[in-house]
Amino acid sequence: MAPALLWGGAGGGLELRAAEDGSARLSGRFPYDAETDLGPNRRETIAGRAFRSRIEAGGEVHLLLGHSFDRPLASTRSGSLRLEDRSDALVFEAVLDPEIAASTTGRDALAMIRSRLATGVSPGFIVTREDVQEREGGLLRVVRAAELHELSVVTRPAYPSAQVEARSWAVTGTGSPRQGHFRRWRA
């Protein structure tokens, strides 16, 4: 029997297919070059192939539920997460083994996707190169390069622009970039 399509999002987002053996296949895309609001007079976009360095180097990337490393669904290291960094989008496909699909985290994720409560994809990353431009009375941050550490299934992604996630950031001048967790962003 062929896998059944349980849910598919128009124009990207997430698609879920269940297989007879209890596994589930989750696929989706995070579009590049789409602007989003971060707050008053603050906008952001992630440039095409901004995540390529870590992906091409084979760095471990996780698929999580709600940006929680305590709620893993798949990973590149285990072979259950495949990433394709295209010029227009980061495309992924995850296979949730029957054991993961049947776990509390797996059941929660699949139920939220089926019920359309969680339909978004949100990357967790550390910015390594950015530009900040003044534009239309505000600032536009363009993330040119970033280390991708995780993708998450979320209820309210910052992208696309129709969904807003307020984050606080300010231009601090031309000094050295701050390191550590302060540079980690979740879109």
pLDDT digits (tens, 9 = 90+) for 9-37: 334 466 777 777 888 888 888 889 988 88
How many structural domains does the chain have? 1
Instruction: Spell out the long-range contacts of 101-105 with Cβ–Cβ below 8 A and sequence spacing 24 or more.
Output: 101/18, 101/22, 101/23, 101/24, 102/22, 105/65, 105/71, 105/72, 105/73
Q: Give 3-state DSSP helix, strand, coil % of the chain, rounded to 5.
A: 15, 50, 40
Please indicate, yes or no, if residue 173 is contained in any of the structural domains. no
What is the helix (H) or strand (E) element at residue 89, kind and residue range?
A: strand 89-96
- Tokens, residue 129: 């190169």
Amino acid code (one letter) for 148: L
Please indicate, yes or no, if residue 176 is contained in any of the structural domains. no
Please indicate, yes or no, if residue 164 is contained in any of the structural domains. no
Question: What is the rounded average pLDDT of the residues 50-61?
Answer: 95
Please indicate, yes or no, if residue 37 is contained in any of the structural domains. yes
- Residue 159 CB burial class (10 angstroms; 0-12, 13-18, ≥19): buried
Question: What is the rounded average pLDDT of the residues 44-66?
Answer: 95
pLDDT of amino acid 9: 38
Cα 72 from Cα 136, distance rounded (Å): 40
Cα 105 from Cα 71, distance rounded (Å): 6
Please indicate, yes or no, if residue 181 is contained in any of the structural domains. no
Please indicate, yes or no, if residue 10 is contained in any of the structural domains. yes
Please indicate, yes or no, if residue 113 is contained in any of the structural domains. yes
Identify the residue with better confidence: 30 or 185: 30
Please indicate, yes or no, if residue 150 is contained in any of the structural domains. yes
Residues 139-180 have pLDDT tens digits of: 999 999 999 999 999 988 877 522 222 222 334 444 444 444
**pTM for the whole structure:** 0.77
Residues 93-129 have pLDDT tens digits of: 999 999 999 999 999 999 888 888 888 888 999 999 9
User: Which residues form the domain of 50?
Assistant: 4-159
